[in-house]
């Protein structure tokens, strides 16, 4: 069990090492690339639709956010904490592939390890 933990820790740490750290303002230039971005959470919204989607806003509160982390309901089981209360007003680093959605950059988080509180 200890060996499995060490292997997972090694994979996670090498993932962070091989992703480039970029600022929110330059994310649109990294579409399709794996990056790490660090910033303070400006707001969190959970949709009221049938399938709950969590949106974590950075740069400014919604609707003027500069960057969004999206967590779909099916992936919430991969998080050991309640996202809205645990991440509220925290500075975090997110690692993932940048996608553009309606002209704004986003990263889809599917597991807790992608979001690290600073």
**52: closest CA among 89, 96, 88, 83?**
83
Given pLDDT bands bounded at 50, 70 and 90, which one contains residue 49? confident
Q: Which tokens sit at 40?
A: 């303070």
- CATH, residue 89: 2.40.50.140
pLDDT at 15: 47
- Report pLDDT digits (tens) over 14-29: 544 467 899 999 999 9
pLDDT at 16: 46
- Can you tell me the mean pLDDT for 4-20? 55
**66: closest CA among 57, 74, 75?**
57
- How many structural domains are present in the chain? 1
Question: Where in the sequence is the domain holding 97, given as residue range(s)?
Answer: 2-117
pLDDT at 95: 98
- Which segments within 49-111 are labelled E, that is strand? 53-58, 67-72, 91-101, 104-108
pTM for the full predicted model? 0.82
Whether the pLDDT of residue 2 is over 70: the answer is: no
Residue pair 98/33 in contact by the 8 Å Cβ criterion: yes
Q: What angle do CA 17, 75, 16 make, to 5 degrees?
A: 5
């Amino acid at each position: 069990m200890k060996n499995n933990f060490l292997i997972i820790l090694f994979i996670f740490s090498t993932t962070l090492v091989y992703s480039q750290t970029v600022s929110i303002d330059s994310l649109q230039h990294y579409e399709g690339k794996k990056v790490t971005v660090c910033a303070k959470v400006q707001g969190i919204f959970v949709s009221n639709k049938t399938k709950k989607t969590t949106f974590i806003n950075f740069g400014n509160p919604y609707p003027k956010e500069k960057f969004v982390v999206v967590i779909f309901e099916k992936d919430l089981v991969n998080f050991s904490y309640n996202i809205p209360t645990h991440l509220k007003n925290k500075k975090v680093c997110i690692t993932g592939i940048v996608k553009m959605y309606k002209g704004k950059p986003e990263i889809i988080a599917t597991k807790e390890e992608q979001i690290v509180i600073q």
